[in-house]
Amino acid sequence: MSSLSPTITIAENLSQQMFKRHDSIPLKSEMLLHIERGVVRTVTWSEEGTVMTLGYWGTGDVIGQPLSNIQPYQVECITSVEVSYVPSYQREWVLTAICHHVQQAEELLSIIRQTNARDRLLQMLLWLARKFARPVERGRLIDLRLTHQEIAEFIGMTRVSVTRLLSQLEQEGIIDRPRRHFIVLLDRQTKFA
């Protein structure tokens, strides 16, 4: 799977705002969010209150209610975040943003449709590594503080299953967790291209 990274030029006079980890970003009708810095997740929830992660988005991505038919729809900060509110009528770059959004949604759909739970978790970690990780001596560091529950919500598993499978992947030498929330994928075991 390859990610398209659009180059988006935005007018200088747009409203930029900063948000802290765990903040919910207010959505404005007919406005898109251009992520200038940081990582967010989009979520919805069932009538029973079960949280369902729709996606993880980072620097350069464009998200917002105009791109989704899902209700309810919420944007939560995983890290500190800076966003620009962009009117959806700015057509010079909206098409590129929409194409990128659709491609990422397809990548995520192919991950959550993996029937084998171990493969689903590993593919999610590889996707996070390609999108958000930075190189370190032993592999790639996914520098996001995701809980086992957040991972479980993302890939449709229980927290207990995620914890068990993360331990299994660590025992197999595919991942290393040197600190509580950081996961290092080892290049010698896994391909990131």
What local confidence, expressed as pLDDT, does residue 78 receive?
96
Cα-Cα-Cα-Cα torsion 142, 80, 52, 33, nearest 10 degrees, comes to: -110
pTM of the model: 0.73
Per-residue pLDDT tens digits for 37-65:
999 999 999 888 889 999 999 999 999 88
Paired tokens of 164: 């068990």
What local confidence, expressed as pLDDT, does residue 39 receive?
97
Per-residue pLDDT tens digits for 152-193:
999 999 999 999 999 999 999 899 888 766 777 776 555 544
**Which domains are present in the chain?**
16-110 (2.60.120.10), 116-186 (1.10.10.10)
Beta strand segments in the chain, E:
15-19, 24-25, 31-37, 40-45, 51-57, 62-63, 74-77, 81-87, 134-136, 139-142, 175-176, 183-186
Query: Does the pLDDT value for residue 100 go beyond 80?
Result: yes
What local confidence, expressed as pLDDT, does residue 8 receive?
41
How many Å from the N-terminal Cα to the C-terminal Cα in the chain?
8
